[in-house]
Amino acid sequence: MKILFTKSLDRKKVSEKLGADFLVDFVEVIHTEFIKTKTFGLKNSSLIFTSVNGVKAFFENGFSANENFAEPKNYNKIYAVGSQTKKELRKHNFGTFKLCKNANELSNFITENSVNEKFLHFCGNIAIDILDEKLPLQNISYRKIPVYRTELLYPKIDEKYQAIVFFSPSGVRSFAKFNNLENMKIFSIGKTTTSELEKLTDNKIITSSKNTLADILNLISKESSIF
């Protein structure tokens, strides 16, 4: 079984997890680079991170959050989407006030519980618009701070695969420009990526709920019996 991952990963680890029945290939469909951003004060702001790159670029640019509860006027609540984003924050010794599986869940939580906060969203230049569309409608202060840039690479794949794995909406758009999804099993990390795929195909999309590589590999292994 030949399966294509739309992201460069450790071939040995992936092959060991999936077993000898799978032949794995990898293709980069997007490229990201940090945007040099002048730092500014974050006093009285709640911070939103929806990707690992957003966290990395935040600290690369020299920003720093304040999680000291003893300073309520300067305290920054941190909201995160995805366990990998939370894990990246932990590497920088920062916790998470609220962790959500996707942007829609985060939007619902904020509108129900945090309407009086001022939000800064450190994200990519083509970040999903769910928060941008929903929060201002509820008169919630929300501002995007682009700290990294995503370039779509639009690869043309001539090889034939029986299955493909997607990791982001932008990755879906990049791949779909010159390739189709016919006759392939489709695996997706997260509901947001799946929503993008649903615009392009009526094929069944097998979605990982935990937004992690380990979870998607487990899902592929479990679904292998359907091939």
Q: What is the mean pLDDT of each run of 10 residues along the chain (227 residues)?
A: 94 89 94 95 94 96 82 82 93 94 93 96 88 93 96 96 94 96 92 91 89 88 69
d(C-alpha 43, C-alpha 36), whole Å: 21
Q: What is the pLDDT of residue 70?
A: 60
How confident is the model at residue 72, as a pLDDT? 60
Q: How far is CA 53 from CA 44, 158, 216, in A?
A: 24, 30, 20
Phi and psi for 151 in degrees, rounded to 5?
-110, 130
Strands in 93-198 per DSSP E: 98-100, 118-124, 141-152, 163-166, 185-189
**Under 8 Å between Cβ of 227 and 185:** yes
Question: What is this structure's pTM?
Answer: 0.87
